[in-house]
Amino acid sequence: MAQYVYGKNVVKQLLNDDKKIYEVLIQEGMKDRSFEDLLKQKKIPVRVLNKKKLEALLKTDHHQGIAASIDEYKTYSVDELLKAVPAGKTPLLVMLDGLEDPHNLGAILRTCDCVGADGVIIGKHRSVQLTPTVAKVSTGAIDTVKVAVVTNLVQTIKDLKEKGFWAVGADAHDAKDYREGQYDVPLLLVIGSEGFGISNLVRKNCDYCIALPMAGSVTSLNASVACSILLYEIYSHRHPL
């Protein structure tokens, strides 16, 4: 089944990656030679719509004047994520517990791509899925970072721990400073939801939790910001200067 994704960076990444595109929608009056040349070169059908019709079709006004019709984004099993880890590499996976904001998921995928994480795990229920908004915010990382959808996060944690992973939760409750974590092992970093953090059952199955110090009056960080800081801390430990 096809879906529309939108945004200049998203469509340009699709074109550069030679992803199958069924058609491109362009807002009337938009001029961009780089898109015109690529579309002609790849012989992709183009439909020009006025602003009102484009917004009605995409159900958003944040499309930047361009959209592409593509197959729905592929998801993977956790085993497929593990099989794709390069030989000799210490695996790094990110699990999102109840994350609902597509902007946060898109930003996390982008950071995962930047640090070379091996995949993201999300729940099938009560969690944001792969949407056009996620694609736009990820600026192409939705195509480079594998995402697994599971029905039971707790069971997935248990299965990964049996395979040698350490599960580390990002949570302020009974946690050590994030700079004290052990990151040179197969690692599952667990990030909680925007409003409620990690659920109790998920937290209980983590090996330990880490927290970011809050030296000011604000008591928490946006989920994607916290995840980015922690991922780069892990990267710093694994790739010291």
**What integer is the mean pLDDT of 37-54?**
89
Q: Which residues pair with 123 in a beta bridge?
A: 150
Closest C-alpha to 25, from 68, 72, 71, 70: 68
pLDDT for 5: 87
Residues of the chain with pLDDT > 70: what percent? 100
Summary mean pLDDT of the chain:
92
pLDDT for 196: 81
Distance of CA 207 to the CA centre of its chain: 24
Tokens linked to 66: 């361009």
